[in-house]
Amino acid sequence: MTTKKQYAHLHILWMCIFFNFSCSVDKEASPDQAYVFVKPDNFPEPTYTFQNNPVTKDGFELGKKLFFDPTLSRDGSVSCNNCHIQGTAFADSQQHPLSVGVNDQRGIRNAPSLVNLAFMEEFFWDGGVTHLDFVPINAIESDFEMDETLANVVKKLNADPVYLELFNSAFGIDKITSPYLLHALSQFTVMMVSSNSKYDKHMRGEGETLTSEELEGMEIFSSKCGSCHSGELFSDFSFRNNGINDVFSDIGRAGISEFDGDVGKFRVPSLRNVALTSPYMHNAKFNTLEEVLDHYENGVIDSPSLDEELKNGSQLGIPLSEQEKEKVIAFLKTLTDREFISDTRFMNR
């Protein structure tokens, strides 16, 4: 709360009051549009607490440096980027369904894509983390008994004159503490807004139109999948069991809600960029969208927490013809945002 930029705003506000003319601190006052968080027109309101951590160029660039820096891991070998790669919309690389190993209950989980985090209320497949700032602590500390690890990272950063300088220019601080480390990472990740897919441009009337196959796919999708994968983020962010298992070595939401009825439920994932984020599901069960569609059509496994939505027909799952599946996949591919995965702001240059 003590950055120079804010004092500048304060001055402007004072001027407004003293000279009694109305003015607003608008975008003209900010030097670089590239570092301004913009809510896409077709998106919901963001949930992130920007008032506590306004994005600045220095903060974002520092967050980026941290994101690509293996110093954050205990043995100096792994950075955030090892599991979150821009080419797959910051999901992990296709071959690696990776474990985060936070505590015993948490088996192997597939790293989700990191997009549109600014609009989410709960993070992780089980929703255990309720604020973006707190997410990286889990990544940094692999075991919850080892509380000093975050402290060690802070210590390592404080011993590095380059970081001292960067934290000073981003936050005006002389000593690095963990909340500023977490704020810097959030400034980087909260800007990962993916909203320029073919679908978006079609919806916003920006000169792209979906083909008739894609449009039919969209129709089928919204009637058969849209009850869970709803809205512009293609998720209602509830926790559900979509029938991929009947034995749950990873109990999912129940680990957080401590409610037996939630065993086997996982967060409905956003499907933006889904064509890039294979493998699919929390346990990386499927490699292709065809397999996912086949699952919904004829592979749904019954268990006590299986979602009611998947018990509608004569058979478990969602009735889909081969043609319908192809159309849905054609539609899902329109959610790929090439601008996002080639956005140079997120590249480690």
Of these partners, ligand HEC, another protein, none, which one is at the site of residue 137 (CB under 5 to 8 Å by kind)? Answer: another protein
Supply the minimum distance, in Å, between the C-beta of residue 257 and another protein.
4
Could you give the 3-state DSSP secondary structure of residue 112?
Answer: coil
- Helix axis angle, 178-190 to 148-158, nearest 10°: 90
243: left (phi over 0), alpha (psi -120 to 50) or beta: left
What's the DSSP call for residue 301? P
Q: Concatenated DSSP letters for 185-205? A: HHHHHHT-----SHHHHHHTT
Per-residue contact track with ligand HEC, 260 to 299, x per CB under 6 A?
A: ------x-xx-x--x--x--xxx------x--xx--x---
Cβ distance to ligand HEC smaller for residue 5 or 131: 131
Structure tokens at 97: 């369904």
Q: How many residues touch another protein (CB under 8 A)?
A: 53
Supply the minimum distance, in Å, between the C-beta of residue 54 and ligand HEC.
19
Cβ distance to ligand HEC smaller for residue 58 or 324: 324
Supply the minimum distance, in Å, between the C-beta of residue 346 and ligand HEC.
12
Any contact of residue 225 with ligand HEC (CB under 6 A)? yes
C-alpha distances in angstroms, 14 versus 10, 20, 146? 6, 9, 48
Cβ neighbours, 10 Å, residue 258: 9
Cβ distance to ligand HEC smaller for residue 118 or 201: 118
**Gap between the Cα atoms of 345 and 184, Å rounded:** 15
Contacts 24+ apart (CB under 8 A), 274-280: 274/332, 274/335, 274/336, 275/332, 275/333, 275/335, 275/336, 276/87, 276/88, 276/89, 276/91, 276/113, 276/336, 276/341, 277/88, 277/89, 277/91, 277/112, 277/113, 278/94, 279/94, 279/97, 279/110, 280/110
Q: Using CB under 8 A, which residues numbered 164 to 183 contact another protein?
A: 171, 173, 177-180, 182-183
Any contact of residue 117 with ligand HEC (CB under 6 A)? yes
Q: Pick the piece of the chain touching ligand HEC (CB under 6 A) from 197-205, 207-215, 220-228, 255-263.
A: 220-228
- Cβ-Cβ contacts under 8 Å for 232 (sequence gap 6 or more): 40, 42, 43, 44
Supply the minimum distance, in Å, between the C-beta of residue 310 and another protein.
20
Of residues 341, 50, 44, the one with CA closest to residue 194: 341
Structure tokens at 121: 């209320």
Any contact of residue 151 with another protein (CB under 8 A)? yes
C-alpha distances in angstroms, 47 versus 24, 43, 121? 23, 12, 6
Q: Using CB under 6 A, which residues numbered 309 to 348 contact ligand HEC?
A: 309-310, 318, 328
Of 129, 220, 233, 310, the one binding another protein (CB under 8 A) is: 129
Any contact of residue 54 with another protein (CB under 8 A)? yes
Of these partners, ligand HEC, another protein, none, which one is at the site of residue 244 (CB under 5 to 8 Å by kind)? Answer: ligand HEC
Q: How many residues touch ligand HEC (CB under 6 A)?
A: 50
Please, what sign has the CA dihedral across residues 282, 287, 293, 299? negative
Q: Pick the piece of the chain touching another protein (CB under 8 A) from 209-217, 218-226, 255-263, 275-283.
A: 255-263
- Interface residues with another protein (CB under 8 A) are 1-2, 6, 9-10, 13-14, 17, 49, 51-54, 102-103, 106, 128-134, 137-138, 141, 143-148, 150-151, 153-154, 171, 173, 177-180, 182-183, 186, 255-262
- Residues lying near ligand HEC in the complex (CB under 6 A) are found at 67, 72, 78, 80, 82-84, 98, 100, 106, 109, 111-112, 114, 117, 123-125, 135-136, 139-140, 185, 189, 224-225, 227-229, 240, 242, 244, 266, 268-269, 271, 274, 277, 280-282, 289, 292-293, 296, 307, 309-310, 318, 328
